[in-house]
Structures are given as C-alpha cells and as structure tokens.
Amino acid sequence: MSVRVHILSGLDAKAPAAIRIDVKGRTLLLDAGGPLQADEPCDWYLDQSPDAILITHDHVDHIGAVRWLPETIPLYCTPTVAQRLPAGRRWHPLPRQGTITIEGINITCGLAGHSLDGIWLHLDIAGGIFYSGDFSFESLLYPFDRPPRAALALLDASYGLYSVDQSHCRDALQAKLNRASLLPVPPSGRALELALWCQTLELPWTFDPACQKFHAALQGLPANLLKPGIQQQLAQLTPRPWDTPENPDLALIRLAADAEGVAGEAGRLISDPDYTGQVIYTGYTPPKARADITSGRAEWCRWNVHPRLPCIQSLADTLQAEQVIPLFCPIDAAGWQAALGKRLRLDHVIHL
C-alpha cells in the first residue's frame, strides 16, 4: 500500500496545522488551521479538496481554515469542538476514545491532554501514522490517553527544545504573585488550571464572567473528559466576586479573557490607568502582548500547555516510532538531531 504524507502547513514554524494523507486513491486532511493573527498569510488550503476533514481540537490554528474549504467535504470532530465550527457547518462525530472507519481507514482517537475534548489521531496504515494535534502530559485538568504503536509520529513541538518542568513554572509564577495581578487567559484553557492552583495555594483569586461561564459549562460535561476528581474540585472553587475593589493588602489575582490582552476584561484592565496591578502573560504572546512586555506594562511567565522535549521523547518511545517529525516550531536541526537521533525527519512530503 502506497501512502503519501504531505505537511501542508506546520513544519519549521509556529504555523497553522494542516496535514494531508493520500492512500488508496483517497485523501484525508488532518486539521485545517487558520492564522493565529488576522493579518498573517495563510494559503495552504488553496486547491485542496480532500475526501474528509478530521479536526483534533478547537483552537484557531487547527480549525480556523474550515470556513475556506468547501462545505460539501465531510468533516469529523468531537461534539465540543463542533460548537466552534462555522454556523450551519455539518459534521460527523469522532469518538473521544475509540475507533472509527473513515474512507476505508481505521482511525483510533484518544484524549490529548491539551484542551477540552481535544484528541490525537492514529491511522492504521503503513505500520501506523500518529498525529498528536496539540498535546500535553502536564495538564491539571485534561487526561492524555496512551496511543497504539505507530511507525510515523507527527508530534506537537510548539515549545521547540524547551524542557522546563511545570513545577518550576509554577514556582516562578508563584514568586511573582505578591501583589495585585492580572493574568490574561483563554477561558477554556489555562483559566481553570490556574484557578485550581490558586485555590490549592490559598491565594486570593477571582475570574471574569467569560471564565465563570466556561467553569459552569465544564461541570455539566462527561466526567471522563477530565482527570479523576477534577469535577469535584471545580465544584468546590470559591473565587472572590469579580467586582471586589482593589486593595493593595489583598494581592488579588484576576484571571480574565482574552488571552491576548486585547479584548474582554483583560483588555479593559490593561488599558485602564486606574488599574495598578501587574500584568502577567502565561502563554502564546501575539504582537499586543509582546508590546505590553516590551513597554514594561506586562511580564511573561510560561505555564506549560504544550509538551516539553522530554515529553516528546517519551511519546516517541511509547509509540516505538521509527520516524518522528516535530511540528509547530522553528527547527533547530542540530538540536533535534541530538534529541531524536536517526528517528528525526524534516521532510514536507513522506512516502511510506
């Protein structure tokens, strides 16, 4: 069986995810990512007419180009991810944990530990092709399911060769939270992880209405989407009221959308001269966030939501992968060669 894997976008850059698989005269598209910033170029989708589209999770760099592809193409995703599709877009369910046959190919799915209802994909062809989407082993909320063996592994490497353990990230962040602080966060991601962490440390904290809404929704979802005991912990969260007045002696931590610090309560507070708390970004920094950091208005302290290098190496070992392609980061070829050895592949097109 001849299989062709074409990385349309996502290799050697923090770029939208799009991987084309051609097998037995049929074509699957794994993810349909759009640009992280509206003014960034994105044209990988031109002239693409796959037989089916499979979406791993609902972040814009994995789902944002769906709107540019023909609506007649069958699209598969999990139910929570479907809520982020363009209005009226038809879809078919992917199992969160199980196997489905699409275009004659058996595809196994498992939870990827990065986002709500986000999954990895394993195609039972050519000795196994594994695509991680975005994944993490370190989430407080989301579990990661062990995948089956795969000869080829296409792995999230958004942090490149970075290897700092989450415990060190938490220690670094905690050391900064000695006065009033605003942490711009995505409501569906780091917001609730940080809330759980703050509560465990008995720090004074609150979150904005956008995060409160997601918190309420999460408690009504199936328990297996979260790590054991997390639903109970979420139900026991006790945030301060969002409208709690600023008090220098309180050192209140505010978790607020949006993560880019442009809109929502985070954007409002950053631009409010009367808000004197510090601003700490903990994730991806788009131009607005970088400008805030450069000007001294904000700091940056990472909270891991993507894999560290040891996590990538561990997953490659678990898969018993013969070929490994690191995705979603600029490539340091020498560094990756040292990390993965003869397993490393950096080709846009691979024939199996």
- The CATH number covering residue 75 comes to 3.60.15.10
Strands 205-207 and 253-256: parallel
User: What's the mean pLDDT in 265-287?
Assistant: 93
What mean pLDDT value characterizes the chain? 95
Whether 37 and 99 map to the same domain: the answer is yes
| Encoded tokens for 139 | 């989430």
- Do 284 and 319 lie in one domain? The reply is no
Q: Are residues 30 and 94 in the same domain?
A: yes
Confidence of residue 84 (pLDDT cuts 50, 70, 90): very high
> With pLDDT > 70 as the criterion, what percentage of the chain qualifies?
100
Q: Is the pLDDT assigned to residue 12 strictly greater than 80?
A: yes
Residues 248 and 320 in one domain: no
| Banded pLDDT at 23 (limits 50, 70, 90) | very high
**Same domain for 253 and 338:** no
Q: Are residue 152 and residue 194 in the same domain, yes or no? A: no
Q: Which of 220, 189, 195, 190 is nearest to 207 (CA)?
A: 195
Domain that holds residue 197: 166-300
More confident position, 326 or 288: 326
Q: Summarize the confidence of residues 279-283 as an average pLDDT.
A: 96
Q: Are residues 339 and 324 in the same domain?
A: yes
Q: What is the pLDDT of residue 143?
A: 96
Write down the pLDDT at residue 109. Answer: 99
pLDDT at 259 > cutoff 80? yes
Q: Would the pLDDT of 43 be above 90?
A: yes
pLDDT of residue 337: 98
pLDDT at 298 over 80: yes
Residue 46 and residue 108 in one domain: yes
Q: What confidence tier does 241 reach under pLDDT thresholds 50, 70, 90?
A: very high
Is the pLDDT at 152 greater than 80? The verdict is yes
Q: How far is CA 77 from CA 41, 52, 113, 137, 156, in A?
A: 25, 11, 16, 22, 19
| Residue 221, domain CATH | 3.40.50.10890
Q: Are 297 and 279 in contact (CB under 8 A)?
A: yes
Same domain, 89 and 125: yes
Q: Based on the fold, state whether residues 42 and 101 are members of the same structural domain.
A: yes
| Banded pLDDT at 284 (limits 50, 70, 90) | confident
Among 334, 167, 197, 185, smallest CA distance to 254 is for 185
Confidence check: pLDDT of 212 > 90: yes
DSSP, collapsed to helix, strand or coil, labels residue 111 as strand
Give the mean model confidence (pLDDT) for residues 306-324: 98
- Structurally, the chain folds into a number of domains equal to 2
In a 10 Å sphere around its CB, with 0-12 CB exposed, 13-18 middle and 19+ buried, how is residue 216 labelled?
Answer: exposed
The total number of residues shown for the chain amounts to 352
Mean pLDDT for the stretch of residues 42-71: 96
pLDDT (average), residues 201-220: 93
- Work out the average pLDDT over 27-40: 93
Token representation of residue 174: 């905690």
Domain boundary among 300, 316, 333: 300
- Please report the pLDDT score of residue 188 as a whole number: 79
d(CA 320, CA 170): 32
Confidence band (pLDDT; 50, 70, 90) for 218? confident
Query: Are 39 and 58 within one domain?
Result: yes
pLDDT of residue 308: 98
Rounded percentage of the chain residues whose pLDDT exceeds 90: 89
Strand-by-strand arrangement of the 52-54 sheet: 92-93, 75-77, 52-54, 26-30, 18-23, 3-9, 349-351
**pLDDT confidence band for 70 (50 / 70 / 90):** very high
Are residues 152 and 171 located together in one domain of the fold? no
